[in-house]
Amino acid sequence: MARVETFYDVIRRQGISRRSFLKFCSLTAASLGLAPAFGPRIAHAMETKPRIPVLWLHGLECTCCSESFIRSAHPLVKDVVLSMISLDYDDTIMAAAGHQAEAILDEIRHEYKGRYIAAVEGNPPLNEDGMYCIVGGRPFVEQLREVCSDAMAVISWGSCASWGCVQAAHPNPTRATPVHEVITDKPIIKVPGCPPIAEVMTGVVSYILTFDKIPELDRQGRPKMFYSQRIHDKCYRRPHFDAGQFVEQWDDEQAQKGHCLYKMGCKGPTTYNACSTTRWNGGVSFPIQSGHGCIGCSEDGFWDNGSFYDRLTNVKQFGIEANADQIGGTVAGVIGTGIAAHAAVSAVKRARMKSGETQAPPHPNAPSHD
């Protein structure tokens, strides 16, 4: 290889002006929550650092992550990021196909050993030796293990790679398994969401490129900068929640006024994501703004949490589906009835004892021997 191409080289080659490039850098700094001084630093990094190859693998998935990613409406992100990260392998959108495409994986693995990023969209099914997902004639799980073994870090795109998502929902016939349970020896950045927000995806990549390290992660391995707060914490309808103003049913007056969707089962209070701040489609809107509650798509196991329109998880035991209120209310009711019956029997028994009053109680503190 000759001189290693920097991001900036590629960007200019793509016909993007320096002015647009600098704009991108400052906007990226802003979206990452960094000080304005970091704009030039990002620009500097992009001008001097070699492009990091990214191998974008596709397992069991619906490609919604890619769909989101390529729609990144942030100015120029589509062009810049797709070029700057040197997306060397992405079987969904790459021009090469067949053996030619698969050969790239080996090439990058050897030439950039320990210096490339494995971005995984979807997850490997493990049942039947992984035969439920075949890529290039082999089970996907084999490709995943190979590619990840020499990567510097792994990005788990979306809820599939991060948690398992719909294909891992109960009863999970293919044993679809999130990436972190298969790859255990590499740093893994989870970017959950179904799909994740485009700007969150590009933001995570930009951070890694700029600072040469993975972003700070929370307990569950998600970048803190995007996943440290719930939708609810930054929701523009939050004042209605605090005031006690709720949509009671679809299309009622409160729905028209844009009151809180809590009673309609909005999962905002239990979902960690950046939707209410970053929003979607270039900041146009997000589910709650469109009048529907959050479905909690970036949360672990959200498919198994019951209806999108209930706030309590269904409890599935012994074939009974019920939520906590139904279970609790029933048990409390049974106990109440039992107590009423018990009290009645106690009263009758006491009345009899009183009328009899011949039996003397046993000696105090003596063990009963009747």
Partner 1 sequence: MTAHANQSPLGKPADDDEIADLATARNHLQVRQTAIYVYEWPVRLWHWINAAAIVVLAATGYLIASPLPSLPGEASQHFLMGYIRFAHFTAGFVMAIGMVGRIYWAFVGNVHARQMFILPFWSGKFWREVLVEAQWYAFLRDYPKKYIGHNPLAQLAMVTIYSGGSLFMIVTGFALYSEGAGQGTWFDTLFGWVIPLAGNSQNLHTIHHIGMWVIICFVIIHVYAAVREDIMSRQSMISTMVSGWRMFKDDGK
> Residues annotated in the binding site for [3Fe-4S] cluster, as ranges?
275, 294, 297
CA distances from 113 to 86, 146, 154 (A): 15, 12, 14
By rule CB under 8 A, what string of x and - marks binding of each residue 239-268 to partner 1?
xxxxxxxxxx-----x----x--xx---x-
Q: Cβ closer to partner 1: 20 or 323?
A: 323
> Which residues have a Cβ under 8 Å from the Cβ of 294 and sit 6 or more positions away?
231, 261, 266, 267, 268, 271, 275, 287, 288
Of all helices (H) and strands (E), which one includes residue 254?
A: helix 253-257
Q: Cβ closer to partner 1: 1 or 360?
A: 360
> How many C-beta atoms surround the C-beta of residue 335 within 10 A?
11
Cα separation, 149 vs 52, whole angstroms: 17
Residue 92 as a binder of partner 1 (CB under 8 A): the answer is: no
**Cβ atoms 120, 157 nearer than 8 A:** yes
Residue 341 as a binder of partner 1 (CB under 8 A): the answer is: no
Residue 180 as a binder of partner 1 (CB under 8 A): the answer is: no
To partner 1, the closest distance from the beta carbon of 138 in angstroms equals 32
Q: Cβ closer to partner 1: 53 or 164?
A: 164
Cα separation, 355 vs 370, whole angstroms: 21
Q: Cβ closer to partner 1: 51 or 190?
A: 190
Contacts (CB under 8 A) with partner 1, residues 97-156: none
**Cβ atoms 215, 86 nearer than 8 A:** no
Q: C-alpha angle with apex 161: 156 to 163, nearest 5 degrees?
A: 115
Residue 316 as a binder of partner 1 (CB under 8 A): the answer is: no
CA distances from 322 to 153, 265, 299, 318, 330 (A): 42, 15, 21, 11, 10
Contacts (CB under 8 A) with partner 1, residues 200-239: 218-220, 224, 228-230, 233, 239
To partner 1, the closest distance from the beta carbon of 266 in angstroms equals 11
Q: Cβ closer to partner 1: 152 or 204?
A: 204
Could you give phi then psi for residue 170, rounded to 5 degrees?
-55, 135
β-sheet bridge partners, residue 135: 138
Number of residues that bind partner 1 (CB under 8 A): 66
| Contact pick of 30, 93, 320, 339 for partner 1 (by CB under 8 A) | 339
Q: Cβ closer to partner 1: 167 or 305?
A: 305
Residue 15 as a binder of partner 1 (CB under 8 A): the answer is: no
| Contact pick of 86, 174, 177, 305 for partner 1 (by CB under 8 A) | 305
Of all helices (H) and strands (E), which one includes residue 238?
A: helix 238-243
Q: Cβ closer to partner 1: 185 or 370?
A: 370
Cα separation, 231 vs 229, whole angstroms: 7
Contacting positions for partner 1 (CB under 8 A): 218-220, 224, 228-230, 233, 239-248, 254, 259, 262-263, 267, 269-272, 296, 299-302, 305, 311-313, 315, 323-325, 327-329, 331-332, 335-336, 339, 342-343, 345-346, 349-350, 353, 359-368, 370
